[in-house]
Structure 1
Amino acid sequence: MTEYYIPTGRSEAELVEKRSRFIGQVWRVDSEAEARARIEEVRRQHYDARHHCWCYRIREEGVERYSDDGEPQGTAGQPMLNVFQRENVTNVVCVVTRYFGGILLGAGGLVRAYTQSAKDALDRAGISVVRRWVALEVPCAYAQFEAMRREVLAFGGVVEQVDYAADVLLSVLIPEEQSAAFSAHILDVSAGTVEALEAGEQLKDVPWREPVQH
């Protein structure tokens, strides 16, 4: 089974610590070249900042890299990378730009600030899961709709669309390994009145953890 996690979208989050301004940004990327291009884009955007610390993870290329960009060794890039390793998020680049505020933070303070900046940016981006899904159409009566929706969620699925007519038609995605069990289950709990119709398979990303606004 192929399953991995990626940022849902681009994000930016700002943190101020003892007058130093930290701007964390996250992007979804598919290659090391794209990650490097994003880093250079930030350097141009914030050309007057003292530090642009970064990290990235690229699943297809098996690459993980980071840079402290002039901060004391081990206080920025690696702590940032740790955030994405802990969340198991890949195909991601994160840049944290620091505008120095005139007060030294010390090694511990820098680690905390860069870690928090990366985490805040990831929280704002949200996380999606990429995996193989079976697309199913589930026709049911209006009285059965809420129960069917709950069954989809209970099997780790996603309701992509709902069409309302004489009956209700749910277009859903169910994890590939759960598809047969889901179809059998809803046929059973509906006493044979609801039958899922397969509409194909696909590898795609769907939101797994919604963006959080700090």
Structure 2
Amino acid sequence: MSIHTIQRETQVEITVERSRFVALSFRISSASDGKSKLKETQMRFPGATHYCYAWCLREGREEFSSDGGEPPGNAGKPILWALRRFRVTNTMVVVVRYFGGKKLGIRGLIEAYGEAARMVLEKSGLIEYRRAYLFLVAMSLPHRNWFINRLLAITGKQTELVFGEDETATFRVLENEKEQVEAFLRQMQREGKILKFEFREG
């Protein structure tokens, strides 16, 4: 069966026994990305009672969930189960709860968090996941245009590059392009046209 990722980041909201549950979906490529998205969510929704979340990375080989102060296993796990049911990777769901004054009990919590996660994943839409690698390259300014043209020749398509102020370039390539791009960068490094490079799955 195919592995998917979400097509777009979005949010939904449901109310259960006067408690508001706001579910948000995110595309992430690492645990660090997930922690950043959690901080952003906490800033967007200040004063919430709980911030519960889960993510799946690396085609299910890396998973994590947090109950965010809810009873253990009643919030993060239902979110993670939803991610598994949708067979998504590199995806995170955060469910923000504003307590409405009435306790929901174990079953009520599991159903509320699971339903919120299910709804936001449905709204996000799914696309087939294709493994990609994120490259970070430090280069000298005179070789920038030459580098762009060579990368185009290797991949056969226009690759989106993001240049930083410190003359670093960040770009993604698909798994079937990785070996050739890596060999190209090693050759450039030997020739002194780039200073260094690194990459990771993402």
The alignment partner of 2:103 has SS state of coil
In the TM superposition, residue 3 of structure 1 has moved relative to its aligned partner by 4.8
- How far residue 36 of structure 1 moved from its aligned partner, in angstroms, is 1.1
Paired with 1:3 and 1:203, the residues of 2 have a C-alpha distance of 16
Q: How does 1:106-121 map to 2 (within 5 A)?
A: 106-121=105-120
CA displacement, residues 11-62 of structure 1 (integer Å, 9 cap, x when unaligned): 1000000000000000111111111110111111112000000001111693
Q: Which residue of 2 aligns with 1:188?
A: none
Matched residue type, 1:21: R
Assess if the C-alpha contact under 8 Å between 2:59 and 2:88 holds in 1.
no
- Decide which structure has the larger Cα Rg and report it: 1
Q: Which amino acid aligns with 2:78?
A: P
Distance 1:15 1:203 in 2: 39
- Equivalenced residues, count: 134
Taking every aligned residue pair, what percent have the same amino acid on both sides? Answer: 34
The aligned residue for residue 55 of structure 1 is: 54
Provide the C-alpha distance between the structure 2 equivalents of 1:36 and 1:63, rounded to a whole number of angstroms. Answer: 14
- Please say which of residues 91-100 and 57-66 is displaced more in the overlay: 57-66
TM-score between the two structures when normalised by the length of structure 2: 0.62
Whole-Å separation in 2 of the counterparts to 1:119 and 1:102: 24
What is the deviation of 1:90?
A: 0.8
Structure 1 regions of 5+ residues with no counterpart?
A: 133-201, 205-214
TM-score by structure 1 length? 0.59
Partners of 1:68 and 1:31 in 2: CA distance:
20
Contact 2:53 2:79 in 1 (8 A): yes
| Structure with higher strand content | 1
What 5-or-longer segments of structure 2 have no aligned partner? Answer: 132-173, 177-202
What amino acid is aligned across from residue 9 of structure 1 in structure 2? R
Q: Which amino acid is the alignment partner of residue 118 of structure 2?
A: K
C-alpha RMSD of matched pairs (Å) = 2.1
**8 A contact 1:3–1:131 mirrored in 2:** no
Shift of 1:91: 0.5
Distance (Å, rounded) in 1 between the aligned partners of 2:117 and 2:82: 7
Aligned equivalents of 1:96, 1:67: Cα separation in 2 = 10
